[in-house]
Amino acid sequence: MIKIYTDKRIKHKVQHLIKEHNSNDIYNICQSLNIPILKNDLGTVRGCLQYHENTDTYLIHINSNYEWEKFGIAHELGHYYLHKDLNSFKLQNCSIELEKKLEDQANIFAAELLLPDNILNTSTYHLNKWKIQQIAFINDLPEFIVEQKAVQLRMFNPAPQNFQNVGKIIV
């Protein structure tokens, strides 16, 4: 059975993870879960979560040429926490819509992990004065992550033309 998570359920899952690890540091989380991060040139693939059945271990592969390494690792952690029981190679042959939904869920997980509400709510950013691009740059994140969170929290309204052009990154 495939679980389809709501945005709210993903947010709660991430909040629990941050509380459990007392941090949103993806490198420390991977280390505590014994998930090695391997960086290599993966061609057009940005990253993937790999399971080795014989050793019961997971690996995160990240393309060494991928600009948003932190986001890619957080995205793959999303797959680990939300979809680790699914065989993604078999799913790719089933439904494009299902695959898109799983990727969207991993993106939401990554956004919640890398930019939790408390960082935006208690930060020194005066979000009404700062632009999405500035916040993304300071946090080394793709702009669409900051925009998604700002809209979700109703912190400020991005320019409509920018919001329509935001693309989702699928790792």
Q: Say if CB 33 and CB 129 are below 8 A apart.
A: no
How far apart are alpha carbons 85 and 6 in whole angstroms?
Answer: 18
Q: Say if CB 77 and CB 26 are below 8 A apart.
A: yes
Residue 59 pairs with which residues in a beta bridge?
A: 50
How far apart are alpha carbons 23 and 37 in whole angstroms?
Answer: 18
Active site residues: 76
